Structure 1
Amino acid sequence: MIRNAFILVLLCFFGCNQNQSPSKDTESTSVINTDYLDYSGKDDQFTGGIKMIPIETPKGEFNVWTKRVGNNPKIKVLLLHGGPGFTHEIYECFDGYFPQEGIEYYYYDQLGSYYSDQPKDLSLWKLDRFVEEVEQVRVALGLNKDNFYLMGQSWGGILGMQYALKYQDNLKGLIISNMVASIEDYNTYSSEVLAPKLPKEVLETIMEYEEKEDYTNEEYLTLVMEHYYPKHVLRMPLEEWPEPVNRSVKHMNPDVYITMQGPSEFGIKGNANLLQWNVKDRLKAIKVPTLTIGATHDTMDPEHMKWISTEVQNGRFLLCPDGSHLSQFDDQKVYFEGVIDFIKDVDAGEI
């Protein structure tokens, strides 16, 4: 029932604008070394870079989907999508920036997401199990401390931090995009800073549904979509949201999302598995070069992301002043310039 109601309302908003013109950016780009897109002799040439990687879990073996783009033995970026339960598709704009910089990168649908296996056992949707999944993916892809950059956004940022706290010796660099280090702080920012910015009557109606835990009510979802998402998730009119974002929403797995994040769009509540997550007092243990990315209009407090960069041993902060939670789209130039500069500086030993 939750699946049907949630997907139905999302599709009403995101399914109407699938044909958008490609970017007409005419800026000059660097010439790519011909080896970058040469897949000859690679074990994934037949599939154009796609690999289904077997993952061992407490509930048996499953397969997760990955796709490699490019060749660069020194720089390999594994992308951890948000959600939980969304897909790599929300990162597809990276195709417009990473190849021209010669950066090798990997799309990856976590277990339960659309292009990977989707087991129905809810006990699999736990943070520690996802950490072990990422480690298995790393090993299968041959990534190591000399070339491995882990980049996670939103839920992917939680997963990235948790992975680094256990396996940072395997990393060359860590990028935490649009995610704070404490769910309690996220909830406080949502309720005390962002919610009061809504029109009074809209907030009152939303809170009525929140109090009744009527999260699948169409009016509740409509108000969230019309008044909250275009200001703090992706700062564009809903009908102009990019096609990869709409596709990721369409492919979202509500079982994973609700089990870990909960049903509310105003913080993590109820019995969600991530409700008590907090690594603020452990950040000082992260020694690998780390970039944190915040955005002025984000669902997460940008000052908290800036603070994370000062807590880790070797941090840098990037602010996207015009961005929100998906700042790779609504403040794209700033976002990618900062990410690429960080990767290149780490590669050059300057950070």
Structure 2
Amino acid sequence: MAGGGLITPKMASSILSTPPGQTNPYPSPTRTGTIPFTPPGTSLETETWYALWGELSSSTVPLIVLHGGPGVAHNYLLPTSHLSSAPWSRTVILYDQLGCGKSTHLPDKNGDTDFWTPQLFMRELENLLKALDIETYDILGQSWGGMLGAQYATTRPKGLRRLIIADSPADMVSWVETADKLRKLLPEDVQETLTRCEKEGTTESEEYEQAVIEYLRRFVCRVWPFPKELADSLAQLKEDNTVNMTMNGPSEFFVTGSLKTWNIISELHKIQIPVLLVNGKYDEAQDVVMEPYFREITGRVKWVRFAESSHTPQLEETDDFILAVGNFLEAAL
């Protein structure tokens, strides 16, 4: 909101809240489309799908939203489209990263750790920025998207103005250690099922999936049944888990993929722009896995922790999440 002050909780609530039992509709995208993308070192012809709320011009600073997973499509981040409405009126862009959602799927690349890398997705982001002729922008990355956004920010890309890291670890070893501790809080029979299936190699089974859902309900999204936005993203992941299995693995805490040793703590000092950190009290991204961002980033850092949320505060405490992000984006640089 050009020239305006910060939005109060009362103002935000009147804009976003809907009566109980009614769906809070999202604003319709101004446009959707696809962008051709040739992954580096290949001759593949792929496409990146995107949705845009608002308008692009030399005077706008769009918010680019990076989804998690890897390979969990954009749907569960649709609440960020509220930022395109008054009083914030920001241009917002969501897109599906290569290999999931409405972008090109590459199931033949399942298990190809040389192909599915953070560098691939950074090049895809740069390709999107170039195709849309965006020079100045902000980034909001959630979970894996926050990891990607942070790694991208360490390269000090020209035009990146602010960064929001939501529910993301700074290294995967700490992530797995924390997930193991949270796993021990599950009912004993659920723990037994998880352990047995992992030992037997039956992590593709319905039994294992149901046990994982018990973890998700406590530490990923505490709204049950899951909101449609999250259910849609998870359904797409189940249909094609190529990217997630290659880079992550069978579950949040059984990480066997190429990100198993990912760690950018030593590079975080290179981030010198304003940063907002976001997580929830019950988040699998507990404070300990996000603390390195707060400690090592040399730019101004603000940390917001949501008291009633786990890993998806944009779905669990939507009003407060949009308020925190909107005010951060509007604060003076």
TM > 0.5 fold call: yes
Write the deviation string for residues 123-171 of structure 1: whole angstroms up to 9, x where unpaired: 4322111111111111112222xx3001111111111111111243330
| Residue 65 to residue 264, structure 1, CA distance change in 2 (3 Å) | same
Distance 1:125 1:207 in 2: 28
> What does residue 21 of structure 1 align with?
22
Cα shift at 1:48:
4.2
- Partners of 1:156 and 1:281 lie apart in 2 by 19
Aligned match of 1:179: 168
TM-score, reference length from structure 1: 0.80
Q: Displacement of 1:56 after TM fit?
A: 2.0
Q: Aligned residue for 1:198?
A: 186
Aligned residue number for residue 77 of structure 1: 63
Name the amino acid aligned to 2:50: T
CA distance in 2: counterparts of 1:268 and 1:188, whole angstroms:
11
**Corresponding position: 1:49 with 2:37:** no
Tell me, in whole angstroms, the C-alpha distance in 2 between the residues paired with 1:267 and 1:311.
Answer: 28
- What's the counterpart of residue 294 of structure 1? 279
Distance change (3 Å), C-alpha of 1:167 and 1:210: same
Q: C-alpha offsets along residues 8-65 of structure 1, whole Å, 9 cap, x if unaligned?
A: xxxxxxxxxxxx73139xxxxxxxxxxx99xxxxxxxxx9422311112122231111
Distance 2:129 2:279 in 1: 26
Quote the Cα distance in structure 1 between the aligned partners of 2:74 and 2:252. 21
Q: Residue 242 of structure 1 aligns with which residue? A: 227
Superimposed CA distance per residue, residues 271-315 of structure 1 (whole angstroms, 9 cap, x where no aligned partner): x11111001111111111111111111111124324412321121
What code does the residue aligned with 2:33 have?
K
Q: Counterparts of 1:250 and 1:332 in 2: how far apart (Å)? A: 22
In structure 2, the partner of 1:90 is: 76
CA-CA distance at 1:244 after TM superposition: 1.6
Q: Equivalents in 2 of 1:66, 1:85: separation in Å?
A: 15
Q: 2:262 aligns with which of 277, 282, 299?
A: 277
| Conserved? CA contact 2:175–2:289, under 8 Å | no
- The answer (yes or no) to whether the contact 1:215–1:221 under 8 Å persists in 2 is yes
Q: Report the CA distance shift for 1:338/1:267 in structure 2 as closer, same or farther (over 3 A).
A: farther
**Mapped partners of 1:67, 1:202: distance in 2:** 39
Letter in 2 for 1:80: L
Return the letter of the residue paired with 1:244.
Answer: E
Question: What residue ranges of structure 1 are gaps of 5+ in the alignment?
Answer: 1-19, 25-35, 38-46
Alpha-carbon distance in structure 1 between the residues aligned to 2:251 and 2:54: 39
Task: Say which SS state the counterpart of residue 157 (structure 2) adopts.
Answer: helix
CA contact (8 A) 2:156 2:271 kept: no
Secondary structure of the 1:166 match is coil
Instruction: Find the counterpart in structure 2 of residue 326 from structure 1.
Output: 312
> What letter matches 1:278 in structure 2?
N
Counterpart in the other structure of 2:42: 59
| Segments of 4+ moved more than 6 angstroms | none
Q: Which runs of 5+ in 2 are unaligned?
A: 1-20
**Equivalent residues of 2:183, 2:191 under 8 A apart:** yes
Structure 1 residue matching 2:68: 3-state secondary structure: coil
Describe the superposition over 1:229-282 as per-residue Cα deviations: whole angstroms up to 9, x where unpaired: 111110022xx321121112222231111011111332412xx11111001111
Paired residues for 1:123-162 under 5 Å = 123=112, 124-144=115-135, 147-162=136-151
Alignment of 1:86-125 (within 5 A): 86-100=72-86, 101-122=88-109, 123=112, 124-125=115-116
1:222 aligns with 2:206: no
Native 8 Å contact 1:295 1:322 kept in 2: yes
Q: Please give the secondary structure, in 2, of the residue aligned with 1:276.
A: coil
Partner of residue 10, structure 2:
none
Residues 294, 306 of structure 1: 8 Å contact kept: no
* Per-residue deviation, residues 94-116 of structure 1 (Å, max 9, x unmatched): 23343221110101111111211
Q: Aligned to 1:317, what secondary structure does the other structure show?
A: strand
Q: Distance in 2 between matches of 1:251 and 1:224?
A: 17
Contact 2:170 2:292 in 1 (8 A): no
Q: 1:66 to 1:330 in 2, by over 3 A?
A: same
Aligned length: 300
> Mapping of 1:332-351 within 5 angstroms?
332-345=318-331, 348-349=332-333
3-state secondary structure, aligned to 1:234: coil
RMSD (CA atoms): 2.1
Give the SS at the match of 2:148.
helix
One-letter code aligned to 2:77 = Y
Deviates more, 1:74-83 or 1:176-185: 74-83
Q: Is the 8 A contact 2:30 2:55 kept in 1?
A: no
